[in-house]
Amino acid sequence: MISKKTKYAINALVHLAKRKDEGPIIIAEIAKAESIPQKFLEAILLDLKKAGILASRKGKAGGYYLLKAPEDVNMADVMRLFDGPIALLPCVTYMYYERCEECKDEETCGIREVFLEVRNKTVSMLKKSTLLEIIRREGQQKNEINED
């Protein structure tokens, strides 16, 4: 399960992506629109800024805005930023590899092979799940509802 921090980060990013042509958006506006506690959101946006996904501007016309295009921000990167490894076992993680203590032979471990396949498919799906794809799907859902 993803953390609340990751979920809030995704909600804030989607909000900013939908309004990318409007310039910087103030934290209070994002917090209210997405029902995210403002202090918590401040820390999340700062992490996203440090990761090079967002930028900010100070002053009267200040706020946060996407530094990357919505099609270049994928859920795998966001999840790793806040929750660490995506894999369910440490021996199959991409960026956080650790050998399993009880493993006798990593080369022939069937458990490792199964969880490596799960990790690879999960990461592939998450990398395809960009902010643009999320917005596209939301629009598709609204169209389907309006057609009923």
Count of domains forming the chain: 2
List the CATH number of the domain containing 23. Answer: 1.10.10.10
**pTM for the whole structure:** 0.87
* DSSP helix/strand/coil, 37: coil
- What tens-digit pLDDT sequence spans the chain (148 residues)? 899 999 999 999 999 999 999 999 999 999 999 999 999 999 999 999 999 999 999 988 889 999 999 999 999 999 999 999 999 999 998 878 888 888 888 888 899 999 999 999 999 999 999 999 999 998 876 666 666 5
Distance in Å from the first CA to the final CA of the chain? 32
Contact 68, 88 (CB under 8 A): no
Task: Give 45's contacts (C-beta < 8 A, 6+ positions apart).
Answer: 12, 27, 30, 54, 56, 64
Does residue 11 sit in the same domain as residue 49?
yes
Is residue 120 a part of any domain in this protein? yes
Is residue 51 a part of any domain in this protein? yes
Does residue 62 sit in the same domain as residue 91?
no
Is residue 104 a part of any domain in this protein? yes
- Beta bridge partners, 120, equal none
Domain encompassing residue 35: 4-66
Task: Give 59's contacts (C-beta < 8 A, 6+ positions apart).
Answer: none
